[in-house]
Amino acid sequence: MGEYQKIEHTFEPVFDKNSRILILGSLPSVKSREQGFYYGHPQNRFWKVLAGIYDCDTPVCIEDKKKMLLYNNIAIWDVIQSCDIVGSSDSSIKNVAPTNLSLIFAQCNIKGIYANGKTAARLYRKFSQKITGLEIIELPSTSPANAAFNLERLIEEWVKIKCN
């Protein structure tokens, strides 16, 4: 295992007044932090899953990713504002300071909250659920580390986000 680093989340959330669905990750991976945007690891299937659900092309550039999210009334952010972590390993996360989700809730009428993986769901329940008053629905992680789910199986699970 590598060394712990103190990571501060630096991306803005993506949302607008029409956002109804909030998808929460844990913290951007090393690759995402390098690119400066969510789900930037080339093997992460997040963008392919959304494209499969909404029957559109997989966006490549950040602007197209934002357009896809907003067109489909989706907001994205992460549950961690800062923490100590080794690389991109969710299992190494400690000393969590949660994100202040009230920024989104003050400006949108969020109808459903979904976690991209177990860690995001667990941390949301621990730090944010009592504040928002909304349950989170845990979805399987789109991370390449989740080898148990192929793309088709992820899409089958993630299609739940269209119910809101």
Q: What is the mean predicted confidence (pLDDT) over 103-118? A: 96
Please determine, for residue 100, whether its predicted confidence score (pLDDT) is greater than 80.
Answer: yes
Of residues 18, 44, 95, 109, which has the active-site annotation?
44
Please determine, for residue 88, whether its predicted confidence score (pLDDT) is greater than 90.
Answer: no
- Going by C-alpha positions, the residue among 62, 9, 8 that lies closest to residue 35 is 62
Per-residue pLDDT at 89: 81
Q: Catalytic annotation on 44?
A: yes
Give the structural domain span for 15: 5-163
Rounded-to-integer distance, Cα 58 and Cα 98, Å: 30
The whole-model pTM stands at: 0.95
Count of domains for the chain: 1
Contact in structure between 76 and 67 (CB atoms under 8 Å): no
- Going by C-alpha positions, the residue among 27, 39, 12, 40 that lies closest to residue 96 is 27
Question: Which CATH number goes with the domain that contains 102?
Answer: 3.40.470.10
